Amino acid sequence: MADFFLQQEKARGRTRLFVFLFALAVAAVIGLTYLLTGFVTLWGSKVWAPSLTLSLGIAGGIIGLGSGFKMLQLSAGGKAVARELGGREVDPATSDPDERKLLNVVEEMSIASGIPVPQVWIMDQEDGINAFAAGTSPSSAVVGITRGCMKELTRDELQGVVAHEFSHILNGDMRLNLRLIGVVHGILVISILGGLACRVAANMRGDSKNSPQIPIFIIGGSLYVIGYTGVLLGRMIKSAISRQREFLADASAVQFTRNPQGIAGALMKIGGFSFGSRLKSGHAEEASHMMFGNVLRGAASLFATHPPLEERISAIMPEWDGQFEQVPMSEINAAPRHVERRSAPQAAPAAGLSMLAASPQDLVARVGMLSPADMENAARLREGIPAELLQLLRDAAGAQAVVFGLLIATDESAETQTLAGLVDEQTLHTARAVAEQVAAWHSTHAIALIDLAIPALRRLTPEEYKRFVSVLDELIATDHQLDLFEFMVQRVLRRHLDRWFSGAPPRKIRFRSFKQLLPELETLLTAMCGVGQRTPEEATAALKAGQDILAQHGVHLKLEPRPASLDDVSAALERFDAGTPLLKKQLLMACAAVAGQDNHISSEEAELLRAVADTIGCPMPPLNVA
């Protein structure tokens, strides 16, 4: 399969294709407006019609306003789509066994892929087997699952469906999907206005010679025809863009889980289930291109957003006999929910762990991609977290205490005193217990805790989030210096949560050449070289390893070991976040070469690699611990 960075480049290409196709659709709609308005104008002097130029302006304005309004509605990200489809957010602290199973699958997939755990929403009114991923970025991603999908699938099948949706998150499909909803809605508005005009005309009295009933009816009918033609073109655009991505996502799910039976079983159950993958929501059609399965009954092949089930299953399992699994409808009743609250975890701390490095190419090839080894590693990491600590992470107050505990574990005396003046006694007690528990943990486990804490932290109110950030920043500033672990925690949390609460979109690409980023490149490589206890000779060798990687891409540097402040590193990463995917790939390869020059990646090096990758939008799976 193509790597993450190539998929990001392809996503940019799909966006350009989409813009071109949409421009053609708008041109077709305006052209029809021109012809039909001209026809009405010539039809008779008694029929009022605007000038042709004004008609064209009105058509373009309606499309622009309709699209803009819809995009504004969707600016909240995936949760806006989930609400429109009738979903409800799953409480991270739920005790419902089916919801708990679903959350466990999503959490493991998130840890394995190195992205924050997305919000999970259930569409309780939907009996069909379906799912979607939506959002403007991994920071705002939502995974939505129908009730039928949660109830009718086994854990392996559910994991296959979730892996399919994670492929869309990692491959940059989500933002384009939201844009498709917005622009197609703009064209649809013309049809809606035309239908409204026809209804108004039908309710008017037509006994007067000067009655505007007939002109309004003609104009309304014309608008309806124009708009519906545009809607058909919009459906063709969605179909053209989404079909091949579904094959790619299916293949990714097999690669992620090493279990073709999982996703193939889910597809076979859709074929044999009385509800199939259909949705009852009135917004099902506009979101059809982002769903796991086809939401519309008997969609014509020209407008189908998904390949036929038979083709998808055969691509996964060539030996399939063509028989769908017949699925009886089960009773689906919500179990009563009870959440056990505990003040602090009591389990013994995990042992410190070392980490062996693969080649830089192997490390970077894992960015944005999941392997069965990553899934197994994520399962081990999650299973190694005590149940009491997991329970804390499912509650907004508990998740804050866990983050504070991670920070005071590195310098408990000074930072605990600071924390005591900022939070209540119960939070302080919990944070101290967490600090004692995680003090000996490798940073890979700590990073997993941060990923798992994000869903609960998203449930804070904006005011509560401001208070949390204030405590976080003051706690980090206690010793008047920023260590790597604190830097990593701050960068990961602020990047994803700031975007969640502000709704800010991902950065636009501004830099396409290392010539525009040479000072930042030098800062990041020397910072990576400065991590750990290297002798001058070892530092020189580590830098050379990074320089050799860059030289393969025509970038020749002559660097000497020197200190780099974390403020400089932060500024450099902000600029690299606006670089192309291929620039980011080469940066990460060079950083990984520096870190792994001695065939060993320390906990500190893992922290900085994770901070670098996450800040520039390249989700890095946790490195396998040994």
The closest alpha carbon to 115, from 158, 161, 171, 155, belongs to 171
Residue 626 binned pLDDT confidence (cut-offs 50, 70, 90): very low
Q: Which residue has the tokens 């994670």?
A: 166
The catalytic residue among 107, 165, 415, 605 is 165
User: What's the whole-number mean pLDDT along residues 447-453?
Assistant: 87
User: What's the whole-number mean pLDDT along residues 333-343?
Assistant: 34
Q: What is the pLDDT of residue 331?
A: 43
Give the C-alpha separation, 384 to 374, whole Å.
Answer: 15
Q: What is the pLDDT of residue 375?
A: 80
The yes-or-no verdict on residue 352 having pLDDT over 70 is no
Q: CB 307: neighbour CB atoms within 10 A?
A: 19
- H/E stretch holding 316 reads helix 309-316
Give the C-alpha separation, 605 to 607, whole Å.
Answer: 5
The closest alpha carbon to 234, from 273, 289, 172, 154, belongs to 289
What digits encode the pLDDT tens for the residues 539-580?
Answer: 889 899 889 888 888 888 888 888 878 888 888 998 998 888
The closest alpha carbon to 168, from 145, 135, 140, 146, belongs to 135
What digits encode the pLDDT tens for the residues 41-82?
Answer: 555 444 444 555 665 676 777 777 887 777 777 777 788 888
The closest alpha carbon to 124, from 160, 88, 161, belongs to 88
Give the C-alpha separation, 591 to 347, whole Å.
Answer: 36
What digits encode the pLDDT tens for the residues 369-382?
Answer: 677 777 888 888 88
What digits encode the pLDDT tens for the residues 162-221?
Answer: 999 998 888 777 877 887 787 777 777 777 777 777 777 777 765 555 666 776 777 777
Most confident of 253-262, 353-362, 434-443: 253-262
More confident residue, 9 or 226: 226
Cβ(427)–Cβ(397) under 8 Å?
A: yes
549 exposed, middle or buried (CB, 10 Å; 0-12, 13-18, 19+)?
Answer: buried
Q: What is the pLDDT of residue 354?
A: 39
What digits encode the pLDDT tens for the residues 385-404?
Answer: 888 898 899 889 999 999 99
The yes-or-no verdict on residue 287 having pLDDT over 70 is yes
What digits encode the pLDDT tens for the residues 110-153?
Answer: 988 888 899 999 999 898 999 999 988 888 889 999 999 999 99
Give the C-alpha separation, 292 to 163, whole Å.
Answer: 11
Give the C-alpha separation, 502 to 140, whole Å.
Answer: 10
How far is it between the farthest Cα atoms of the chain? 98
DSSP state of 342: -
Q: Which residues contact 183 (CB under 8 A, 6 or more apart)?
A: 22, 63, 67, 234
Give the C-alpha separation, 585 to 315, whole Å.
Answer: 30
310 tagged catalytic: no
Q: Which residues contact 414 (CB under 8 A, 6 or more apart)?
A: 478, 479
Q: Average pLDDT, whole number, for the chain?
A: 79
Q: Which residues contact 53 (CB under 8 A, 6 or more apart)?
A: none
Residue 412 binned pLDDT confidence (cut-offs 50, 70, 90): low
What digits encode the pLDDT tens for the residues 479-509?
Answer: 766 677 888 888 888 888 988 888 777 778 8
Q: What is the pLDDT of residue 13?
A: 57
Q: Concatenated DSSP letters for 47-111?
A: S----HHHHHHHHHHHHHHHHHHHHHHGGG-HHHHHHHTT-EEPPTT---HHHHHHHHHHHHHHH
